[in-house]
Amino acid sequence: MKTTAPVEKNQELTVDIEDLTYEGMGVAKVDGYPLFVADTLPGEKVKLVVTKTGKNFGFARALELLTTSPDRVDLKDKTYMQTGIAPLGHLSYEGQLKFKQHQIAEVFQKSHLDIPVLPTIGMEKPYAYRNKAQVPVRMLYGEIQTGFYRKGSHNLVPMEDYYIQDPAIDKAIVIIRDLLRQYNVAPYNESQQKGVMRNIMIRRGHFSHEMMVILITRTRDVPHLNELIAGILNKIPEVVSIMQSVNPKNTNVVLGRTVKKLYGKSFIRDQILGLNFDISALSFYQVNPVQTERLYTRAIEQAGLTGKEVVIDAYSGIGTMSLAMAQHAKYVYGVEVVVPAVADAKRNAKLNGIHNVKFEAGKAEEVMQQWKADGLEADVLMVDPPRKGLAKSFVDAVGQMKPKRVVYVSCNPATLARDLSLLQEFGYHAKETQPVDMFPQTQHIESVTMLSLD
């Protein structure tokens, strides 16, 4: 086999870790050839074994830390590092916040964007924050287990304390696992495509404490379903909604195409910035409620609303930011592609007695073009796209509509940099970028950038 790698699989060597990738892996260079090593930090000298070599880079596993970084923290439970739940758990929180600021700055620099990146706004308690969990159910050594996948695999590591999740959710998962054991409901077997229970998904309102349980099953029929429902309601009084989603496919996608109600409401209600929101199973909802309020507050401040503005909220989800902005604007138009989320947004407007909003279901890039064609003129545009960022046709429509300000909430620095460069070509100028840590202990980076016309 022809390879340019200067190292071989299973070779042991001692290296210095020089950098961290955006995925939180340490980087060592051997004759310029990068090796990625999980659970290592810049400045550490590490004995490692090469596990995989490719043409341009390879992977290795740390065997021994010969020196440790002052930024290293000892996690009380090593399980977190074996799974993908807390890939930055070994880095001090201070170090994580700097890492995120630095990552954005680096991407900007590579893209020749001269935009200062402010220090990351972090959490006082950077754990136990997630209001949503999605865990696989599997049979391990004859016992039904719930937990998290080992990094880069589909091998389940049983867990009861997930560290970054709301502890009430962790407890609920254990209760449901025990009910599955009690009634012997067969877990999904991926290799044989057999079994029933694939995943348990739980969402809990941080303020309301309302809980939704979604049972994701391979088959429509679930043995002892009535006993399971009764057990869940009896043992977890916060549950106001139990749903089932059937996913018969051999896929990594967790949810099936539809969800049906087994008990109670088909949504939970929670509060953000003093407003009420109903959230149904398929709708996006920010996972870190404490930081969401900070993120939204920053984004809305940057929108500079005085009560006179026409605002577009693109990628509006269940209307969280739209409704918060409507209180300070003349009118808000929201656009979102997931139909049940749009239904939630409309219901949420009514729920809060907010009438100066309109929600449209569709692709932001298409609806934006349509709005432009219809002569809609927005003063402020809020965008909060998924990781792939804005479609080129969306940016083109912005360039034609020319809102005075664009507030860009991003969960991916790479596509943020790409889109900011495009917006610059239309005369937009960004003063600074503010990272807000929505995902402590993980590599994910969220930020807010305001652009205005020069």
Short-list 41, 9, 10, 12, CA closest to 24:
41
3-class state of residue 80 by DSSP: helix
The answer to whether 22 is a known ligand-binding residue is: no
Select from 37, 214, 335, 401 the one that contacts ligand SAH (CB under 6 A).
335
Select from 170, 270, 278, 336 the one that contacts ligand SAH (CB under 6 A).
336
- Between 384 and 419, name the residue whose CB sits nearer to ligand SAH: 384
Residues catalogued as catalytic:
411
**Residue 360 lies near ligand SAH (rule: CB under 6 A):** no
Q: How far apart are CA 121 and CA 271, in angstroms?
A: 21
Select from 217, 247, 316, 443 the one that contacts ligand SAH (CB under 6 A).
316
Q: How far apart are CA 325 and CA 305, in angstroms?
A: 8
Short-list 367, 368, 363, 450, CA closest to 409:
450
The answer to whether 377 is a known ligand-binding residue is: no
- Between 105 and 338, name the residue whose CB sits nearer to ligand SAH: 338
**Residue 315 lies near ligand SAH (rule: CB under 6 A):** yes
Buried b (16+ CB within 10 A) or exposed e, 65-83: beeebebbeeeeeebbbbb
Q: How far apart are CA 430 and CA 405, in angstroms?
A: 10
**Residue 361 lies near ligand SAH (rule: CB under 6 A):** no
Residue 440 Cβ vs ligand SAH, minimum distance, rounded to whole Å = 18
User: Would you say 69 and 27 are in contact if contact means Cβ atoms under 8 Å apart?
Assistant: no
Q: How far apart are CA 139 and CA 247, in angstroms?
A: 18
Task: Give one DSSP letter per residue of 341-356, joined into a string.
Answer: HHHHHHHHHHHTT--S
The answer to whether 384 is a known ligand-binding residue is: yes
CB-closest chain residue to ligand SAH: 317
- Number of residues near ligand SAH (by CB under 6 A): 16
- Between 97 and 321, name the residue whose CB sits nearer to ligand SAH: 321
- Between 95 and 319, name the residue whose CB sits nearer to ligand SAH: 319
- As given in the structure block, the two tokens for residue 4 are 């340019």
The answer to whether 286 is a known ligand-binding residue is: yes
User: Would you say 276 and 351 are in contact if contact means Cβ atoms under 8 Å apart?
Assistant: yes
AA letter at 173: I
- Between 222 and 390, name the residue whose CB sits nearer to ligand SAH: 390
- Between 170 and 278, name the residue whose CB sits nearer to ligand SAH: 278
**Residue 309 lies near ligand SAH (rule: CB under 6 A):** no
DSSP 185: P
**Residue 57 lies near ligand SAH (rule: CB under 6 A):** no
Residue 364 Cβ vs ligand SAH, minimum distance, rounded to whole Å = 4
Residue 402 Cβ vs ligand SAH, minimum distance, rounded to whole Å = 21
- Between 28 and 332, name the residue whose CB sits nearer to ligand SAH: 332
Q: How far apart are CA 410 and CA 412, in angstroms?
A: 6
Select from 215, 323, 329, 341 the one that contacts ligand SAH (CB under 6 A).
341
Q: How far apart are CA 176 and CA 450, in angstroms?
A: 44
DSSP 392: H
User: Would you say 383 and 368 are in contact if contact means Cβ atoms under 8 Å apart?
Assistant: no
**Residue 270 lies near ligand SAH (rule: CB under 6 A):** no
Residue written as token pair 């939630």: 344
**Residue 129 lies near ligand SAH (rule: CB under 6 A):** no
The stretch among 11-19, 185-193, 248-256, 311-319 that binds ligand SAH (CB under 6 A) is 311-319
* Paired residues of 138 in beta bridges: 145
Q: How far apart are CA 68 and CA 45, in angstroms?
A: 7
Q: x/- contact string, 108-127, with ligand SAH (CB under 6 A)? A: --------------------
Q: x/- contact string, 377-406, with ligand SAH (CB under 6 A)? A: -------x-x--------------------
**Residue 348 lies near ligand SAH (rule: CB under 6 A):** no
User: Would you say 306 and 299 are in contact if contact means Cβ atoms under 8 Å apart?
Assistant: no
Mark the binding-site residues for S-adenosyl-L-methionine, compressed into ranges: 286, 315, 336, 384
- Footprint of ligand SAH (CB under 6 A): 284, 286, 315-317, 320-321, 335-338, 341, 363-364, 384, 386
